[in-house]
Amino acid sequence: MTGGGRRGSAGIGALCVLAASVLWGTTGTAATFAPEVGPLAIGAVAMGLGGLLQALFAAPRIARHRTGLRERRGTVLLGAVSVAVYPLAFYSSMHLAGVAVGTVVSIGTAPLASALIERVVDGRRLTRRWTVAASLGLLGTVLLCVAEAAHAADDGGGGTGAGRPASASTTLLGVGLGLVAAATYALYAWAAHRLITRRIPSRAAMGAVFGLGGLLLLPVLLVTGAPLVGSWSNAAVGTYMALVPMFTGYVLFGWGLAHVPASTATTLSLLEPAVAAVLAVLVVGERLPATGWSGVALVIACLAVLTTPTGGGLRRGRRLAARRTGDAARGGSARRTAGADGGR
């Protein structure tokens, strides 16, 4: 593939990941419509049913590539276990430490975990561009969460979801679970990307990893999911979480992973908390102070750094095009000379 083709492919991949992040950003607002459903049930129904739907959607591809998946069963199993652990850790982290702390630890540190995995396992070097973008995104996420924490403090709660401030031990447990969520998010993104780069189509790779992860989450859903069928609104929230953010979102994420590294994908997904904050203002009626809007601006700057073609890349593309034009002209001149010689 040419340099221009690679840049175009990476651009499409980035757009897919950004679209997935927008869908993921709706989960917090959706969950407010089912306050009696616990974090384990929310995580299990979202990733569990969403994962099984992905497997069903990808069943023909999975069957076609079952030999390749079987040969890489260690990677598939690692990704599946990470898929099962991630939502339980993520939603529990927000429940115990508060939305602000849980989000910044889980989402904000995932790009760092992903980069570390790629550096240690794949020997991939971090570019200056990624480092700048990740720093902007992480700072923006921190500012967003500081704004949320200040808002929660003004309301007299925001700790455990019960209107009480979280104790130090509860907050520490929430932070620990947030780190687990970040690590497992990075792991399943890496596992899916590795399968895709080993000639497994994205649909088959994501269907196998998320389908098996969904099976692992079914026991949790059976134990904790009773409130989901307690009312039509709860059932609607569960259905939405499984179909839209998780099923559709992760199909898009899989397409994105086919074109960009896992570290880039997890950095682009920093858009998720920014979308969640804006929706909280527009739909839930929360207020976002200037600090929060500054965080949104930094996240947007992070995405711009990652997705805007660099001047060097554009110059290389123009030089390549000019070289091809010159080669074609020289080739045409040579052919015309050969024709003239043949005529003589």
Q: What is the pLDDT along the chain (344 residues), one digit of tens a residue?
A: 444 555 557 788 889 999 999 999 888 788 888 888 998 999 999 999 999 999 999 999 999 999 999 999 999 999 999 999 999 999 898 888 777 677 778 887 888 888 888 888 888 787 888 888 888 888 887 887 777 666 666 655 544 444 445 567 787 888 889 889 999 999 999 999 999 998 899 999 999 999 999 999 999 999 999 999 889 999 999 999 999 999 999 999 999 998 888 888 888 888 888 888 788 778 877 677 788 788 888 888 888 887 776 555 445 545 544 554 555 455 555 444 445 444 44
Identity of the amino acid at 3: G
Q: For the residues of 257-326, what is the DSSP string, one character each?
A: HTTS-HHHHHHHTTHHHHHHHHHIIIII-----HHHHHHHHHHHHHHHHHHSPPHHHHHHHHHHHHHHHH
User: In whole angstroms, what is the distance from residue 40 CA to residue 107 CA?
Assistant: 18
For residues 141 and 108, is the Cβ–Cβ distance under 8 A?
yes
Place of tokens 């497997």: 55
Distance separating alpha carbons of residues 124 and 118, to the nearest angstrom: 6
**Under 8 Å between Cβ of 206 and 54:** yes
Tokens for 57? 């959607």
- The Cα 262–Cα 115 span in angstroms is 8
Give me the half-sphere count of Cα atoms (radius 13 Å) on the Cβ side of residue 29: 21
What is the distance of C-alpha 139 from the center of its chain?
A: 18
pLDDT of 312 reads 52
| Rounded Cα–Cα distance for residues 112 and 178 (Å) | 13
User: Tokens 């031990």 — which residue?
Assistant: 169
Degrees (nearest 5) of the Cα angle 133, 188, 246? 90
pTM (2 d.p.)? 0.78
CB–CB of 267/302 below 8 Å?
yes
Are 253 and 20 in contact by the 8 Å Cβ rule? The answer is: yes
Per-residue CA distances from 46 to 16, 52, 94, 192 (Å): 20, 10, 16, 19
Gap between the terminal Cα atoms of the chain: 41
- The per-residue pLDDT for 162 is 43
> What integer pLDDT is reported at residue 130 of this predicted model?
83
Q: How far is CA 9 from CA 186, 190, 259, in A?
A: 22, 19, 6
Other C-beta atoms within 10 Å of 333: how many?
A: 10
Burial of 311 per CB tally in 10 Å (0-12, 13-18, 19+):
exposed
